[in-house]
């Protein structure tokens, strides 16, 4: 559970899950594809066919408030899109 931080549940990823059997996860920045594959297969009991990873840099954000301008930075993260074998699926809503 240290490698997988949280699943990505958006309209785009849900559509890809239904059409292409692809599911998105925010993962640890230092994790490689083999570690991600092992973690997903153990946690969700599926067969992983392919993994694509992306690294996102943090962005600078500025807010204008009554007390002045607040500036900060969003966190950087790594995202993995996991393709599951045909006929298998991951259900993120089963534990609710």
Give tens-digit pLDDT for 63-78: 999 999 999 999 999 9
Domains of the chain: 4-84 (3.30.70.330)
Mean pLDDT score, 21-40:
96
Label residue 93 by pLDDT band (50, 70, 90). confident
Kindly report the average pLDDT of the chain as a whole number: 93
CB 50 within 8 A of CB 56: no
The answer to whether 84 and 21 are in contact (CB under 8 A) is: yes
Contact 95, 59 (CB under 8 A): no
CA angle 68, 69, 70 (to 5 degrees): 115
- Helix or strand run (H / E) with residue 44: helix 33-44
Task: Say yes or no to pLDDT of 95 above 70.
Answer: no
**Structure confidence at residue 1 (pLDDT):** 60
**Residue (of 32, 28, 17, 31) closest to 82 by Cα position:** 17
Instruction: From residue 78, give the alpha-carbon distance in Å to each of 16, 34, 48, 74.
Output: 19, 15, 18, 13
Tokens of 10: 């958006």
């Amino acid at each position: 559970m240290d490698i997988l931080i949280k699943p990505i549940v958006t309209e785009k990823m849900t559509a890809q899950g239904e059409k292409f059997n692809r599911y998105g996860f925010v993962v640890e920045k230092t994790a490689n594809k083999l570690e991600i594959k092992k973690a997903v297969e153990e946690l969700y009991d599926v067969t992983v066919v392919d993994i694509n990873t992306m690294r996102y840099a943090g962005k600078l954000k500025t807010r204008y408030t009554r007390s002045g301008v607040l500036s900060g930075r969003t966190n950087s993260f790594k995202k993995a899109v996991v393709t599951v074998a045909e006929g298998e699926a991951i259900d993120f809503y089963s534990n609710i």
